[in-house]
Amino acid sequence: MPIDTEAAPLAGHPLIGIEVEGVGTISSQWNNEDIIQAANFHDVFKRTPLVRSRSYANFRGVYITPEDSDNFGKSSPAELVSKPHRINDLNLLRLRNSVWKALGPRGVRTGQNTFNYGGTRTTDNRWGKFRPSSIGGSLQTTVGVGVHRLLSNNTNRRENCIKMLVGDRRKQRIVIAIAEAAVTAQQELFAAGAALWHHRNIPQIQVEGLRLSLFLAFINVVLTHSNRLGGGGSGWAKDALGANFKGYSSFIGTGTNNSDGILKLGARAMTYNDSDLVGRIRAVRGNGTITQAINDHVNNTNNQLLSLIGQRGLSIQTTVEQWNAIPNITHNGHLYTVVECREKTSKVNINMCTFLNAEKKDVLETSRSGLSHARTFRTTIRNHLGHP
């Protein structure tokens, strides 16, 4: 399927997972190395679990993937990746246990994979394990985030959520401005006489979906047109904003469309003058980067900013990483999207490190201290990220 393929949000629970670099090396021996030359080998192999923990299953366990190297496909630095875990005390404790069990002397070191490339290609993988004394700046956390917090009407809630995800203050200000622009744009679209005036009474979860589509569209505009982040076009790094926003961007992917498809905003773009919308976005405080990007975009698209909103493949995961975005989640009447915290100064990452390092061993799942540490971490991020 094309990498920008998207589907409706999934009913479920917001999840959390981690990646840890600097845990040794991974080597692979093939029965036939011709597969390494395949066009999509790199993108597939770098995300393939080469060594799996014994607890590897849905919502459980960790695994090893290869990082980029000159000898990619045969030998690479190893990265420890967790399966997405549910955000409750027991499953957070299981996450921590899996990490330290894998890094310990009894953890699994070998694995095998099979691929189809003009016949069967198999690889035997061996993890040259390195156990760090503690988990630190090499950690990144991917977490489900409530859109009702990320794009809240309440300025403090919105900004506190972003400051939990993004550490760098300059990047915080940019993301905060983009989020405010998305909220402002949704309110403008529902104003009297605007494009969605007749749909202003849609359920709140669809409002959240529309805001998320706007937010990801504006991120795309900023990353494409603003020179204030280091350049434009395909050269953007996925950490340009301090976080990788990985969720689906289309109206279908954000759940904005109902069964009748009444919110096909893109189809209205050629009949609705969006000068008021652009004007309100330009008025967002601290939005120098956005103003420049919006000006460039509307000049290049004949003043049709709306034509971008609700399109597929606008997440950073797709536009920068050239890979499939992640489905959004619906839970308890709210929409959740997926964000990867890229910086060691991210409060999510700082608190995750504190939790992982509280006891550097696997403990019983009934451990009072283990469950207490999990509860502390969960409570710290819960209120800011909108977890149930």
The confidence score (pLDDT) of residue 260 equals 46
Residue with the larger pLDDT of the pair 46 and 222? 46
Q: Is the pLDDT of residue 263 over 60?
A: no
Distance CA 202, CA 46 (A): 41
What element of type H or E holds 175?
A: helix 169-189
Instruction: Find out whether 54 and 159 touch, Cβ atoms under 8 Å.
Output: no
| Cα dihedral 292, 298, 304, 310 sign | negative
Give the mean pLDDT of 146-153.
98
Going by the DSSP 8-state scheme, the letter that residue 85 receives in this structure is E
What separation, in Å, do the N-terminal and C-terminal C-alpha atoms of the chain show? 33
**pLDDT grade, residue 290 (50/70/90)?**
confident
Distance CA 301, CA 308 (A): 10
- DSSP letters of 325-368? -B--EEETTEEEEEEEE--TT-HHHHHHHHHHHSSSS---TT-H
- Residue with token string 């840890």: 20
Residues in the chain: 388
Distance CA 77, CA 300 (A): 42
The confidence score (pLDDT) of residue 229 equals 60
| Cα dihedral 43, 48, 50, 53 sign | positive
Residue with the larger pLDDT of the pair 321 and 131? 131
The confidence score (pLDDT) of residue 265 equals 60
Instruction: Find out whether 179 and 150 touch, Cβ atoms under 8 Å.
Output: yes
Whole-structure pTM value: 0.93
**pLDDT grade, residue 149 (50/70/90)?**
very high
Residue 37, both tokens: 């030359």
3-class secondary structure, 326: strand
**pLDDT grade, residue 237 (50/70/90)?**
low
Count of Cβ atoms closer than 10 Å to residue 251 Cβ: 26
Going by the DSSP 8-state scheme, the letter that residue 226 receives in this structure is -
| Percentage of residues in the chain having pLDDT higher than 90 | 66
The confidence score (pLDDT) of residue 234 equals 42
